[in-house]
Structures are given as C-alpha cells and as structure tokens.
Structure 1
Amino acid sequence: MLDLRLHHVSIVVTDLERSVAFYQKAFGLERLPRPPFKTQGAWLDCHGQQIHLILYPQGTYRANEAIDNNDVHFSFHTRDFYAILDHLLAQGFHEGPDTNDPMRLYVLRDGPAGFPQLYLRDPDRNVVEVNGAP
C-alpha cells in the first residue's frame, strides 16, 4: 500500500466568512495563510491536514433535505468520539427528527462500519462526517 495521508479537502462554499466561522466554532480549526489565488477562499488547519474553502456564490449543491451519508462528504477522525459529540451538542446541534434543520446531527453509535460515526451539514449543505475508527 502506498504511504498516503490526507493533505487537504476542498469544499465549495457560497459565503466564505460564514463557512470559516462554522468550521472554527464547530471543530476549532485555525485559519492558515493562503496564496493569492484568482478565486477567494480560506485554508484551515486540522492537525497538519487542511480544509480548503473555495468561494463560489452560485453553489454546486444537492437538493436533498436530509443528511445523506452516501453523498459526497469528507471525514474527520477522532480518538474521543463522544467528546466531539458532546462539544457539538453544546454548540446547539441536536439529533432531532427535523431533517431540514441545519443544526441536526445524524449519529450512528453502533453503525455498520463497526465504529461510531456522526454526520452534519455545513452552511452550504456539504456533508461532514466525524468518526471514531480504530
């Protein structure tokens, strides 16, 4: 197997500062310096890997109301899944039934993957996973 590690994930967003604030508040990511590309964007640090937010006001998103864990998404890994879950709940996220609520979490404590997973959406409806994979 090749020795590969995730370097960055690029996500198209419609409101750059709103999305930066979301990722900083929800996950504690820090903003990094970014080269002066033609498009506006922001880079965020996640323990040496990066999330690249790319501004595209027209959006390129799915119309599905519910969180769909089979949709395009990226995942954060954590060694303390329940600490992250508790943090998100303290930030106002919840496991309620309203699939259109932007603060809804879809949580699989004993999911088919064999480890806990949760899914949420950022302000542009991009699906974000957090898992406790071994």
Structure 2
Amino acid sequence: MPDLALHHVSIITSDLELSLPFYRDVFGLTELSRPDFPVGGAWLSCGRNQVHLVVHPGGSFRRNAAIARNDWHFAFNTDDFEGVLERLSALGFSSDVPAGDPKHMLVFRTGLAGFPQLYLRDPDYNVVEINGAA
C-alpha cells in the first residue's frame, strides 16, 4: 500500500468569528487562502498539515462543556510541552477553573500514554489535545 500522511483535520464550527481567533491566536496557526466554497470556513496552516474550519450553523453534536478526553478529538504535537502549557496559562487556561469554564484544561504530565498530554476545548466543545509524544 502507498504511504499515507495526514493532510488536514476538518472541524465543525457554528461561529467562525469565535473559532477562527481561537485556533489562530491560541495555537498560533496561520490562515491560508481558501477556495470560495458555498459553505463558510477557513483553512489554517499547522506545520506541513492543515486545520479546516467548516461552518455548520447547528454546530457539532457536542452539548456538554466538560472535556471528555476519550471522546473524539485530535491532537497537536509539540517538542516544548512546558512552553505550550505556559502560553496557555498566560492566556487564562487552567486546570483550576470549573469543568464547564471555556478556559478549563486537563493536564497530565505523566500517564499511561507515556508522554505528557493536555486537553482543552474550542468554542464548539470540540476537544483538542496537545502532547509531547516523541
């Protein structure tokens, strides 16, 4: 079978004006040119890969603000986990705020996966993992 590589992850958003700044400003992703599709959205660069935000007025099926790390999610990988954690903390994200707070995150410096992981959610309750996997 030919080698495959991940090209992009598509994320549903009910409000591009909330989601675009979240992915651009929190994660430092840069906006790419996007064809004029009949549905709104944005494409963002993430290294050699991309994150595609697709507007769907109904949002995703998620309605629970709690972070469920065993639910569907995608993961960013970093070689500076502590640096990412510091950046998120400076932006107000914390494991000390209530679970339903938009700035709530779960942090696992060690665990069964064998590498540090943190989880947070975007404005549409999509779970995003950031890990320090080698």
Q: Identity of aligned pairs, percent?
A: 54
2:48 maps to 48
Structure 1 segment 1-134 matched on structure 2, within 5 A: 3-134=3-134
TM-score (norm 2): 0.95
Q: CA deviation at 1:75?
A: 0.4
Q: CA deviation at 1:34?
A: 0.3
Structure 1 stretches of at least 4 aligned residues deviating more than 6 Å after TM superposition: none
CA RMSD of aligned residues (A): 1.3
Question: What is the one-letter code of the residue matched to 1:32?
Answer: L
Could you report, residue by residue, the CA deviation over 1:15-69 in whole angstroms, capped at 9, with x for unpaired residues? 1121110111111000000011111110000112100000011112223332001
The answer as to whether partners of 1:61 and 1:125 remain within 8 angstroms in 2 is no
Question: What is the one-letter code of the residue matched to 1:122?
Answer: D
Note the residue ranges of structure 1 that are not aligned, 5 or more in a row.
none
Distance 1:107 1:2, change over 3 A: farther
The answer as to whether partners of 1:61 and 1:126 remain within 8 angstroms in 2 is no
Q: CA deviation at 1:111?
A: 1.6
Secondary structure of 1:70's aligned partner: coil
Secondary structure of 1:10's aligned partner: strand
Secondary structure of 2:83's aligned partner: helix
Secondary structure of 1:60's aligned partner: coil
Question: What is the one-letter code of the residue matched to 1:126?
Answer: N
Aligned residue pair count: 134
Q: CA deviation at 1:2?
A: 5.5
Secondary structure of 1:113's aligned partner: coil
The answer as to whether partners of 2:60 and 2:124 remain within 8 angstroms in 1 is no
Question: What is the one-letter code of the residue matched to 1:38?
Answer: P
Secondary structure of 1:17's aligned partner: helix
Note the residue ranges of structure 2 that are not aligned, 5 or more in a row.
none
Q: CA deviation at 1:112?
A: 1.0
Question: What is the one-letter code of the residue matched to 2:9?
Answer: V
